[in-house]
Amino acid sequence: MRSMQHNQTKQQNRTTTRNTNMKGSRLKGTEKKDEELHDIFLGSRYQIPSEKHRALKVERMLEAFKTLAKEAPDVFDSIAPEMLQRSIWSWRGADPLLSKKFNNWVLSEYQWSSFSDILPKHESTNPVEAVPRVDPAQLEAAHRAFLEALSNRFYGDPHRWDASTRDQFIIIGVLASARGHGVRQGVIVNSLGLGMSESGVRGSNTVRAAKIALTRLAKPLGLQLFAPASGHGGERIHAFDDPDLAEVVHRFIQHHDARMLLPASVLRSSSNA
């Protein structure tokens, strides 16, 4: 009897010691990790996306995309634009302006701007107020009359403008944002959404037609709107003739309802001006 009690007491002490050692060593160091894994398991098993599970999944997905881009670049290059476009549609629905910006970005703007630049911004992150409004009373008569002509030309809902009107607005906006400095024709063509492959005849003709139409607005007012262009093809340089007029037009464009037709790089440089 005494031997049986001794054995039970010895076994109890051994169990207590084992539990104490486990709690004091292994469990203490892994308790937090086990809780995280448990939360992640619940999220996967019962479709309850906890924050930890969502963060882990995003991390793993990004790793997967990077691996695919490295191991199979041709495959990734062919499917990535479609994946992004489908994501934009799921997120924003039918947004013609965002779709146009995305197409421009995929074609060429990715070279000098990030994907986040084309996404809609809150006013606090891309403020119109950063560019002062034009005060017509402070303008010379010819400049004031030209802004009135532009207001009449770019009137109404931009979504309902025809292609030539949109082209004219984008081209004068891009050139005005340069404040009299030259802009390469390739940049202008890309801003129109024609793409790099269209920088030849079609792109050149589109830019020429838009500049002719805009020049006809300015000429009766005694204004030379554009400086003579120089160069050839995508490297041909276009610019305003008068930097002061370019600044006036730039401020007008930045407070116009159709300003979001302009490429992301122009809007970003304008908000930082």
Give the confidence band of 203 by pLDDT, cuts at 50, 70, 90: confident
- Mean pLDDT estimate for the chain: 78
**Contact present, 186 and 238 (Cβ < 8 Å):** no
Q: Is residue 48 part of a domain?
A: yes
Mark whether 156 and 252 lie in a shared domain: yes
User: What percent of the chain shows pLDDT beyond 90?
Assistant: 34
With pLDDT > 70 as the criterion, what percentage of the chain qualifies?
A: 70
Predicted confidence (pLDDT) per residue in 54-92, tens digit: 888 889 999 998 999 999 999 988 888 888 877 776 576
- Three-state SS for the chain is CHHHHHHHHHHHHHHHHHHHHHHHHHHHHHHHHHHHHHHHHHHHHCCCCCHHHHHHHHHHHHHHHHHHHHHCHHHHHHHHHHHHHHHHHHHHCCCHHHHHHHHHHHHCHHHCCCHHHHCCCCCCCCCHHHCCCCCHHHCCHHHHHHHHHHHHHCCCCHHHCCHHHHHHHHHHHHHHHCCCCCEEHHHHHHHCCCCHHHCCHHHHHHHHHHHHHHHHHHHHHCCCCECCCECCHHHCEECECCHHHHHHHHHHHHCCHHHHHCCHHHHHHHHCC
Question: Within this chain, do residues 66 and 133 fall inside the same structural domain, yes or no?
Answer: no
**What pLDDT is recorded for position 159?**
79
- Neighbour count for residue 201 (Cβ, 10 Å): 8
| Spatial distance between the Cα atoms of 221 and 34, rounded to a whole number of angstroms | 77
Residue 150, in any domain of the structure: yes
Same domain, 213 and 137: yes
Give pLDDT tens digits for 3-34: 555 555 555 555 454 444 444 444 545 555 55
pLDDT tens digits for 155-166?
Answer: 998 878 999 999
How many domains is the chain built from?
Answer: 2
- Determine the average pLDDT of the residues in 165-176: 94
Which residue type, as a one-letter code, is found at position 61? M
- Domain range spanning residue 259? 128-271
CA distance 117 to 112: 10
- Domain boundary (31, 52, 71) is at 71
> Do 199 and 265 fall within a single domain?
yes
* Residue 103 in domain: no
CA 268, 257, 272 angle in degrees (round to 5)? Answer: 20
Please tell me the pTM assigned to this model. 0.56
Mark whether 262 and 135 lie in a shared domain: yes
Q: What pLDDT, on a 0 to 100 scale, did the predictor assign at position 182?
A: 92
Residue range 80-90, pLDDT digits in tens: 888 887 777 65
Q: Does one domain contain both 147 and 255?
A: yes
The answer to whether residues 256 and 156 belong to one domain is yes
Per-residue pLDDT for 197 more than 60?
A: no
Q: Does residue 67 sit in the same domain as residue 132? A: no
In a domain, 152, yes or no: yes
Same domain for 49 and 142 = no
Point out the domain boundary residue: 45, 71, 97: 71
pLDDT of residue 198 exceeding 50, the answer is: no
